[in-house]
Amino acid sequence: MTSILEVEQLDTLSSNASSTLTIGGTNTTTIAFGPNVTTTPSSLKNTPAFRARLSSNQSVSGATWTVLSLATEDFDIGGYYDNSTYRWTPPSGGKFYIHFQVRNNTGQDYMYCSIFKNGTTEVAMAQATISSAGILSSGAIITPNGTDYYNLQVNPGTGSTIAAGEGFTFFEAFKLIGA
pLDDT of residue 129: 77
The domain defined by 46-175 folds into Jelly Rolls (2.60.120)
Convert the chain into a string of H (helix), E (strand) and C (coil): CCCCCCCCCCCCCCCCCCCEEEECCCCCEEEECCCCCCCCCHHHCCCCEEEEECCCCEEECCCCCEECCCCEEEEEECCCEECCCCEECCCCCCCEEEEEEEEECCCCCCEEEEEEECCCEEEEEEEECCCCCEEEEEEEEECCCCCCCEEEEEEECCCEEECCCCCCCEEEEEECCCC
The pLDDT value given to residue 28: 64
What residue spans define the domains of the chain?
A: 46-175
User: What pLDDT sits at residue 30?
Assistant: 63
pLDDT at 128: 85
pLDDT at 93: 86
Q: List the chain residues with pLDDT less than 70.
A: 1-2, 5, 7-43, 130-131
